[in-house]
């Protein structure tokens, strides 16, 4: 008994110190090294590259903000950047609308479901497990005006007017991109909202109904406020996903954002500039695009997170 009382405090002290300082550092180090090599170093490299003029891969003179000025004063950037940016915003707005209405609706329905809950959860999440590039190419095949089954079905049921060249018409093409992106990712908010709904204690809802709250009042005043953290997470991730969107727009509209730039997004513009332009200053200009894109995503993500935290604090 005496021995135990001597050993226990020593052990505890040892473990405590090690986990908070040195051992902790050792555990963090591998991740830190990977982060430094694969995230931080390329990020800093791109930032520094954007301030130089390049000839192929040979770094030329210091260009200051020259490459950034090019983006807003020279063709094709000065017309393509605003065009692509608007499409990124449409992608974000569409995805938010889809995920926070249909995604939340599905999650609520599944939450009430007693049987087959797992089955449906898996079904909704399935497209999310497939590579977005594959999803994009599959949809472009399905929507082909020549061989696509979508228009074939529409025509065979007498809906000829709806049998559009979906990806060939600029007014529908970007919405196809929005739809396919939302279709693929809807399983994610379903899972996230499902978990958040599961985390709301039953008693609160029961108490509310005992107090005479209608189902809508219960959702608005009890469930919804408790979902705010999940909505915040979904919003930030949706924003990052929409601003970085590449594989689905690439598979549906090609690197040029066909037709006539109607599906162009910022990542496609970056890809074209870096790898397809053949411009000798491709590294400088594309690094400037990448840096601006990063700063924008980073800044707005921080803002959304701050805004959502404030909303949470107000509600509780």
Partner 1 sequence: MRLRFLALGAFAIGSAVLLSACAPSASTAPAPDAKDDVTLKVWSWRTEDVEKYNKIFDVYEAAHPGVTVQFEAFQNTEYNQILTTGLAGSDGPDIPMVRAYGQLQPNIAAGQLEPIDGLVEGLEGIAPSVLAGAVGKEDGKTYAVPLATQTLQMFYNKDIFEQNDLSVPTTWSEFIELNDTLVTKEITPMALGAKDSWILPIFADIVGSAMYGGSAFETKVLDGSTTFEDPDYVASLQIVDDMQAYMTPDVVGVSYTDSQIQFTSGQAAQFPGGSFEIATFATQAPDLNIGSYQVPVPPNAVSDVPLSAGYADGNFAINSKSEKKDAAFELLNWLATPEFGQLVADELNQFSAIPGVTYANAAMQEAWDNYEQAQAPYLLLVDFRYGEPLGTAVLGEQIQKIFLGQTDAAGAAASLQTGVSQWFTPGK
Which residues of the chain form contacts with partner 1 (CB under 8 A)? 18, 22-23, 25-26, 29-30, 32-33, 36-37, 41, 55-58, 74-76, 140, 144-147, 164-170, 253-254, 256, 258-261, 275, 277-280, 282, 285
Is 138 exposed, middle or buried (CB count within 10 Å of its CB: 0-12, 13-18, 19+)?
middle
Q: Closest approach of Cβ 145 to partner 1, in Å?
A: 4
Of the two residues 235 and 263, which places its CB atom closer to partner 1 in the complex?
A: 263
Of the two residues 147 and 216, which places its CB atom closer to partner 1 in the complex?
A: 147
Q: Closest approach of Cβ 286 to partner 1, in Å?
A: 11
Of the two residues 148 and 187, which places its CB atom closer to partner 1 in the complex?
A: 148
Q: Which residue do the tokens 């192929």 mark?
A: 56
Q: Closest approach of Cβ 263 to partner 1, in Å?
A: 10
Q: Which two tokens stand for residue 247?
A: 């594989």
Q: Closest approach of Cβ 182 to partner 1, in Å?
A: 21
Compute the distance between CA of residue 242 and CA of residue 297 in angstroms, rounded to an integer. Answer: 10
Of the two residues 25 and 126, which places its CB atom closer to partner 1 in the complex?
A: 25
- Asked if residues 104 and 98 have their Cβ atoms less than 8 Å apart, the reply is no
Compute the distance between CA of residue 146 and CA of residue 127 in angstroms, rounded to an integer. Answer: 25
Q: Closest approach of Cβ 17 to partner 1, in Å?
A: 9
- Give the ranges where 202-281 is alpha helix by DSSP (H): 202-210, 215-218, 224-244, 247-253, 266-271
- Asked if residues 291 and 304 have their Cβ atoms less than 8 Å apart, the reply is no
Compute the distance between CA of residue 51 and CA of residue 53 in angstroms, rounded to an integer. Answer: 7
Of the two residues 78 and 310, which places its CB atom closer to partner 1 in the complex?
A: 78
Of the two residues 192 and 282, which places its CB atom closer to partner 1 in the complex?
A: 282
Nearby residues of 203 by Cβ (< 8 Å), 6 or more positions away: none
Of the two residues 44 and 113, which places its CB atom closer to partner 1 in the complex?
A: 44
- Asked if residues 287 and 46 have their Cβ atoms less than 8 Å apart, the reply is yes
Q: Closest approach of Cβ 293 to partner 1, in Å?
A: 19
Q: Which of 182, 166, 286 is nearest to 234 (CA)?
A: 182
Compute the distance between CA of residue 188 and CA of residue 121 in angstroms, rounded to an integer. Answer: 10
Is 249 exposed, middle or buried (CB count within 10 Å of its CB: 0-12, 13-18, 19+)?
buried
Q: Closest approach of Cβ 282 to partner 1, in Å?
A: 8
């Amino acid at each position: 008994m005496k021995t135990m009382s001597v050993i226990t405090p020593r052990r505890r002290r040892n473990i405590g110190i090690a986990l908070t300082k040195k051992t902790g550092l050792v555990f963090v180090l591998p991740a830190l090294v990977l982060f430094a090599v694969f995230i931080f170093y390329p990020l800093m490299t791109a930032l520094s590259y954007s301030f130089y003029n390049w000839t192929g891969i040979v770094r030329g003179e210091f260009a200051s903000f020259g490459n950034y000025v090019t983006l807003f004063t020279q063709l094709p950037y000065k017309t393509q950047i605003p065009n692509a940016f608007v499409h990124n915003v449409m992608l974000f707005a569409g995805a938010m609308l889809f995920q926070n209405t249909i995604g939340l609706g599905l999650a609520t329905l599944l939450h009430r479901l007693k049987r087959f809950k797992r089955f449906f959860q898996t079904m909704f999440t399935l497209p999310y497990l497939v590579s977005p590039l594959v999803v994009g190419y599959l949809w472009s095949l399905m929507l082909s005006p020549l061989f696509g089954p979508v228009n074939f079905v529409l025509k065979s049921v007498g809906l000829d007017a709806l049998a559009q060249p979906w990806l060939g018409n600029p007014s529908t093409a970007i919405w196809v991109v929005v739809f396919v992106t939302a279709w693929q990712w809807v399983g994610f908010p379903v899972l996230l909202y499902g978990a958040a709904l599961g985390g709301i204690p039953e008693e609160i809802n029961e108490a509310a109904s005992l107090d005479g709250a209608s189902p809508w009042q219960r959702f608005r005043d009890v469930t919804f406020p408790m979902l705010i953290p999940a909505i915040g997470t979904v919003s930030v991730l949706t924003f990052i996903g929409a601003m970085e969107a590449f594989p689905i727009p690439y598979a549906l509209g090609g690197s040029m954002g066909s037709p006539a730039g109607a599906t162009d997004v910022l990542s496609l513009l970056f890809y074209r500039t870096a790898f397809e332009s053949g411009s000798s200053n491709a590294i400088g200009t594309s690094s400037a695009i990448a840096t601006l894109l990063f700063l924008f995503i980073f800044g707005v993500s921080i803002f959304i997170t701050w805004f959502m935290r404030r909303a949470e604090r107000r509600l509780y």
